Amino acid sequence: MKLKTIAKCAALGLALSAMPLAAAVPANLKSYGNEYGDFKSPTHDIRIANPNEPDKKADSTKFFSLSRLTVGGYGEAVYTRNFYSDNMFRYSYPERYKDATGHGRIDLPHVVINLGYDFGKGWSMGTEIEFEHGGSEVAVEIEAEETGEFEHEIERGGEVALEQFWIQKSFGKGFNIRLGHIIVPVGQTNFAHEPNRFFTCYRPEGEFNMMPCTWHETGISLWGKLGDWRYEAMIIPALNSNMFNNANWVKNGSASAYEFRVANRLAGAVRIDNYSIKNLHIGVSGYIGNTFNNDIVTTEFSETSQYKDVKGTVVIGTAEFDYKGRGLIVRGNFDYGHLSDANLISSWNKSQNHQSFSPYPRSLVGEAAIAYGGEIGYDIMHPMKLKSDQKLYLFGRYDYYDTYIPTATALTDYQWTDRHVMTLGVNYYPIKQVVVKAEFAKRFLKEQYNDEPMFSLGVMYAGFFNK
């Protein structure tokens, strides 16, 4: 199918998805959110098919029933004014860009359509199609001013990605098997990436710049809920060390420029969440996998090669909490990751003589990366006890992250990767499913660089349309 046809179909799907919000919000529309508060999240649990429950909703002989279909989605539109230069050399020659006037941007970071279906007898499926930054518009046109020549044009950048596609067999609430393309819930943002689950206009930038986000892989997942506990364990393809770099550590390691995902190496991910304390959620997660030589072209090394025993093992550990009660929301996270053989992987990546259109960054990569932060917001309308869903949160957020922590023997230390970010802003909810955000943030770098202030204004929605 041609890309233009795909874009038209996607636009039609988005229009249909938006109709319930444009007309009137139905009573049964429920929002994305945490699993212990006001909202329910379909990121991992779009629908749990109960194998012990009889088919009361519809005739089980029918292949399709609307009562078994789950439709939802979320979207973000953001305007940002950056009061600093975006020149690629602003860290190499900061003195040249000290008085830069800045630049403005309008973006659609994420627009997502979720579809789920309960087949009955414990079988269900889920999909998520995401359009990042407005999707991708490519067209072939005839130019009348150039003797009728055909021209291939890129009208807009962005990405269209199938972020979820899985089939699930449920044996009960405590044990489910999921096969297919799945969200990897390592870190607070990957587990809770819908726009009403964080205060800032964009996803918190510490985790966003340290690891894949939203992280999605094709694999197998075992998960369930046991009392106040939720667990998930996954086997997925390992990351590709050729894609690591200094600015984003292993973030791009899940990317693939090919029509398939290379899986010479497999990795494991695990997550455990607890909800035993009222209004409080605590979660931990982790990832481990060997990443070196996990590419379409593999190399056999001789016994004397310095790369013979290189594994490039990536280990990531995270911890997080979020509390919601009495008009107050508090969230916090801590993430740390380590890469073995970082110097040798950096040497290997820099030495590769790929052609100019190669997707590899040929960059140094740090031995470790770290990100931690937290946010607190208070609904100033909470004391009024209004009989409506309106909320107005005043919030503050702090983030620290460093995506390039070199080894002791590394020749280069990119100090501009060491950053603190302070954000102050407001979130206004006219209804549960829609939020308007405004914020001022400032990124503080080492003293030899220029700090980076910015203002953002955005509108977001997140919700189910028929559940």
Q: Which residues contact 459 (CB under 8 A, 6 or more apart)?
A: 76, 77, 434, 435, 436, 437
User: How does residue 135 score in pLDDT terms, banded at 50, 70 and 90?
Assistant: confident
Note the residue count of the chain.
467
Of 423 and 262, the structure prediction assigns the larger pLDDT to 423
Using alpha carbons, select from 436, 317, 325 the residue that is nearest to residue 368: 317
List pLDDT tens digits, range 394-440: 999 999 999 999 988 887 889 999 999 999 999 999 999 999 999 99
- pLDDT above 70 covers a percentage of the chain that reads 81
φ/ψ (deg, to 5) at 349: -65, -40
- pLDDT above 90 covers a percentage of the chain that reads 67
pLDDT mean over 109-128: 95
3-state secondary structure of 349: helix
User: How does residue 393 score in pLDDT terms, banded at 50, 70 and 90?
Assistant: very high
- For the chain, list the domains and their CATH numbers: 3-464 (2.40.160.10)
Using alpha carbons, select from 403, 314, 402 the residue that is nearest to residue 365: 403
List pLDDT tens digits, range 160-188: 888 999 999 999 999 999 999 999 999 99
Using alpha carbons, select from 57, 165, 171 the residue that is nearest to residue 122: 171
List pLDDT tens digits, range 319-357: 999 999 999 999 999 999 999 999 999 999 888 765 556
List pLDDT tens digits, range 38-58: 334 444 444 444 444 444 444
Chain centroid to Cα 187, Å, comes to 10
Is the alpha carbon torsion for 57, 60, 64, 69 positive or negative?
positive
- Please say whether the beta carbons of 188 and 283 come within 8 A: yes
CA 386 → CA 325, 379, 390, 444, distances in Å? 16, 12, 8, 39
- Please say whether the beta carbons of 236 and 184 come within 8 A: yes
List pLDDT tens digits, range 63-82: 678 889 999 999 999 999 99
pLDDT for 77 equals 97
Q: Which residues of 132-164 are buried (b: 16+ CB within 10 A; e: fewer)?
A: bebbbeeeeeeeeeeeeeeeeeeeeebebbebb
Cα–Cα dist 204/333, whole Å: 10
pLDDT mean over 188-203: 96
Reported pTM = 0.85
Two tokens at 312? 């490039």
Q: Which residues of 420-446 are buried (b: 16+ CB within 10 A; e: fewer)?
A: ebebebebebebbbbbebebebebebe
- Please say whether the beta carbons of 223 and 233 come within 8 A: yes
CA 176 → CA 36, 171, 219, distances in Å? 20, 6, 14
Average pLDDT, the chain: 85
Cα–Cα dist 358/195, whole Å: 33
- Please say whether the beta carbons of 238 and 250 come within 8 A: no
